[in-house]
């Protein structure tokens, strides 16, 4: 009768186990890079998102008026909320401030595989530093998170918006033209870009060269195209240093320069990057980030900021597409009382084991032995404890290993040592 709303999904216990596994793994990588977790509300005052992106963003987000007449929006991303929180509460913290988060985001997107209206992001912001080593570490963190969860093939592409705007200026492109051209570059629609450049008065030769430079990973080719602009050359050498640090110090060789990376969101500036999982095809972008400017717009004191967001759902899709085997769900113990008189003792054993951190389930349906074993098997129980009157007289139970089928009689106190987690 009822179905999930378009673009949203339910997650079954089996799916949630995968998601929590990935989330725990990602959390430990964030922590290992010295980041602290932050959480912000699911909805925010709408100005938080319109102040930089303008009213046009209203077409892409879920917004509503609450009963008090407040204009609110479900967050489409977490950078603006985290920066709002930083300005409200964290400006005096020692720098650099490293914050990470997990949170559901909401966008009025056209749903397809890897694109949802409710999706989860894992991300971070680093505030108060813009050295090349800080940027390299940020990229290394994004890459390590994706590698540590088990992805085999991911690639970093690094762009730079300062270089792009310098080229725009040289090609005499007006601000309005740039707004029209950037989405074409972002989506790698180079044929359309060529036509649009021509419409904007750019010569055929300049347009062709520009499009080549957008796609090449050859630093020398880019350098010769921007050679007459010292600021652009400086930005290019920053990218080279970052790639060098990634390679030589972080031991990450899968990064390239690619100026066609310009990012969709409006607040980025300078270095930007994306990480792709080629296995996903069209929706292959797993991560996007870079340096941006929101703090002063939101009324804070000027400070450098960078960050990234990883699409949590796409990471799982990419793992599945690469054939990743998630650890199977398991239950440490299933307890079967042989008859109803054994129920209190079974509960007592369950309680003691649970107190020791062992996962325990027991037959709540008063089923016979055969059906209980079937259920224990379906729940991937490692061991089964059978509580029977004869054994219990001697304060013992039967302990069965579900993998080997071996059974032994053990005393109740022995159970704990037998089941002790490694």
Question: Which range binds ligand AMP by CB under 6 A, 116-124, 181-189, 326-334, 412-420?
Answer: 116-124
Which of residues 79 and 396 has its CB atom nearest to ligand AMP in the complex?
79
Which of residues 268 and 362 has its CB atom nearest to ligand AMP in the complex?
268
Measured from the CB of residue 255, what is the shortest distance to ligand AMP in angstroms? 16
Task: State yes or no: residue 115 binds ligand AMP (CB under 6 A).
Answer: yes
Task: State yes or no: residue 305 binds ligand AMP (CB under 6 A).
Answer: no
Task: State yes or no: residue 306 binds ligand AMP (CB under 6 A).
Answer: no
Among 287, 350, 402, 412, binds ligand AMP (CB under 6 A): 287
**Site map 246..285 versus ligand AMP, x via CB under 6 A:** ------------------x--------------------x
The size of the interface with ligand AMP (CB under 6 A), counted in residues, is 17
Among 107, 258, 383, 400, binds ligand AMP (CB under 6 A): 107
Contact 213, 259 (CB under 8 A): yes
Task: State yes or no: residue 46 binds ligand AMP (CB under 6 A).
Answer: no
Among 81, 270, 288, 304, binds ligand AMP (CB under 6 A): 288
Task: State yes or no: residue 316 binds ligand AMP (CB under 6 A).
Answer: no
Task: State yes or no: residue 372 binds ligand AMP (CB under 6 A).
Answer: no
Measured from the CB of residue 105, what is the shortest distance to ligand AMP in angstroms? 7
Task: State yes or no: residue 294 binds ligand AMP (CB under 6 A).
Answer: no
Among 63, 121, 255, 305, binds ligand AMP (CB under 6 A): 121
For ligand AMP, the binding residues (CB under 6 A) are 77, 107, 109, 114-116, 119, 121, 264, 285-288, 309, 311, 313-314
């Amino acid at each position: 009768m009822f179905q999930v709303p378009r673009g949203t999904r339910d997650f079954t216990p089996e799916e949630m186990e995968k998601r929590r596994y990935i989330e725990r793994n990602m959390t430990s990588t964030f922590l290992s890079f010295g980041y602290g977790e932050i959480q912000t509300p699911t909805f925010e005052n709408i100005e938080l998102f319109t102040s930089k992106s303008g009213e046009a963003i209203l077409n892409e987000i879920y917004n509503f008026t609450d009963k008090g007449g407040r204009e609110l929006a479900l967050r489409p991303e977490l950078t603006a909320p985290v920066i709002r929180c930083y300005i409200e509460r964290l400006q005096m913290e020692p720098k650099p401030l490293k914050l990470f988060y997990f949170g559901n985001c909401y966008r009025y997107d056209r749903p397809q595989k890897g694109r949802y209206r409710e999706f989860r992001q894992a991300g971070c912001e680093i505030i108060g530093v813009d050295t090349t080593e800080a940027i390299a570490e940020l990229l290394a963190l994004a890459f390590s998170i994706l590698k540590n969860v088990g992805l085999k093939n991911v690639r970093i592409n690094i762009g730079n918006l300062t270089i792009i705007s310098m080229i725009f200026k040289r090609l005499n492109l007006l601000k309005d033209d740039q707004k029209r051209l950037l989405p074409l570059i972002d989506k790698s629609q180079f044929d359309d870009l060529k036509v649009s450049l021509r419409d904007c008065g750019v010569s055929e030769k300049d347009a062709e060269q520009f499009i080549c430079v957008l796609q090449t990973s050859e630093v020398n080719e880019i350098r010769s195209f921007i050679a007459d602009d010292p600021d652009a050359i400086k930005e290019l050498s920053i990218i080279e240093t970052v790639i060098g640090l990634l390679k030589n110090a972080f031991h990450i060789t899968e990064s390239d320069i690619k100026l066609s990376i310009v990012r969709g969101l409006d607040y980025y500036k300078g270095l930007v990057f994306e990480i792709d999982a080629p296995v996903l095809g069209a929706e292959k972008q797993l991560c996007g980030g870079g340096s941006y400017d929101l703090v002063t717009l939101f009324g804070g004191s000027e400070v450098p900021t960078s960050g990234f967001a990883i699409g949590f759902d796409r990471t799982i899709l990419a793992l599945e597409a690469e054939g990743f085997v998630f650890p199977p769900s398991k239950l440490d113990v299933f307890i079967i009382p042989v008859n109803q008189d054994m129920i209190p003792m079974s509960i007592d054993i369950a309680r003691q084991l649970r107190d020791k951190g062992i996962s325990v389930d027991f037959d709540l349906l008063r089923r016979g032995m055969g059906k209980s074993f079937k259920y224990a098997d379906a729940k991937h129980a490692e061991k089964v404890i059978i509580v029977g009157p004869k054994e219990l007289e001697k304060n013992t139970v039967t302990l069965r290993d579900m993998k080997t089928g071996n059974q032994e009689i053990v005393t109740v106190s022995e159970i704990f040592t037998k089941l002790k987690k490694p």
